[in-house]
Structure 1
């Protein structure tokens, strides 16, 4: 503030009190509160003239500075919180079948001034809740059972009514669904295990094919080397099988070499060499091995002329295929590493950005 042109150094704090309502404004507020009361206390009911569910006897009016206290003339059928007492209501309805009238008096108080009050009276008619056909039928059955029990107290059993109002009644124990749930979970588990087994078999088959493709260039190279040294195809085959059984097999079975062992056992068992080579390619199930079996089979029919060149070209092609397979597997490995790399990037960003935000003074 400034006094006579001089600015004061001290600040002046002014507390502004709430404005009091005039009598007319207060009456208007109480009238609005009374109108809202009759709507707010309905709860799940449609009308105060037919109350079948609990009332919502509120203690304050939303958006108005008014507190409410209630007074009832029938505390036997309705509590101060608006809850209906079913047993007392049924007894009262026997005398008043049209509905039990209950007078509710609301005492409204202005929260800022306890001396300013107003009263509002509401009359409600409490009726029996509407029941469904099934509920009425259950009530008749229960009354019949109670009646039979009262008339036959010395009997050890209770007779259930077989007919109500011309309707035939039958009874059964409620079905326990726990067994069905366990059965369903068991079936789902079996299905998932079956799918898992098929998936594992598929992975093993894929792994076997990749292993056979990796071994193919070496097998072709060995055959080419041994045939070039003057050995027959059968002798070269036996040499490769013997070397595998002596050196490689103890370290772990290799699918392609195991098929060669099976083919050699067929030869020793009397099967023709040509048929053994063809069966070898068929069992492997891969195009390169089928081609190798066909080359060796044609060698028996046409002679060894051109076989060395064909095997040499096949070996070069096999090594190129192996390089391409190695590149594909490397790309797959790089793709699998993307997720860990993104996670590491997120961690690095958090480490860098969070301290920067914390260091900013607001």
Structure 2
């Protein structure tokens, strides 16, 4: 803006802070914000009673000057960004509790509501193929003791025509080759699943150790960042010492490796709160998701009350 004092004219910048709510206004503002949040999260869905696409877990309500963070009771069916985990959804639907934590300056309001999530709807063609596959599986069960299978002639009211290939020697070899390839793929997939289970078991065992260390450092007066860097730094140093002895003796641990990854991201200038939340998502276990979310939410408060939460 321009200002004129006597005959002298100057330009001046004026910052106007937002209106501060009194107690009654804040109560109403929280109530209105809750309605806006519940409407905004729908995304492409028509109702929370039938959620088939990702929810829009907003991080702020600008009109009310409020920030929003989230807690879920089922991180296996939806992540903290609102993305549905399609592999874990059932056709009967899964009820999930969402908690929106509304923050205005030092005031906080928790708003809980529920959504029923379902797998994404298939296109008409894909739905017909799914129904046909179910019919084939059902026919296979009925003729398990027979040397034949009666294939369905109709699906969804439409006629189905089956074409049978010629059983030549080359065709037989091709089938054998495909069968072997499928066996290799299944074996590889099974091995990968076993390794993943082993990794999750190890992470569950490491979790109380990490929390105890973190709590100890927080009680000694460290900030969240310093405590995180301390644990990650100690682990990294220990790993380097082990590597000098033997690469096999290294025994890298997923939960700690991700902590080191976060340490370098924060050191590189990444948002500290987002890094902690991302840590929980990458670990992909509810304990770690809650841990990361808790640290992110407590950044603005400092470590006050954090030891009790831990």
TM-score above 0.5, yes or no: no
Q: Report which structure shows greater RCO (CA 8 Å, sep ≥6).
A: 2
Q: Give the number of the structure whose alpha-carbon radius of gyration is greater.
A: 1
The structure where helix makes up a greater share of residues is 1
TM-score range, shorter chain: 0.3 to 0.5
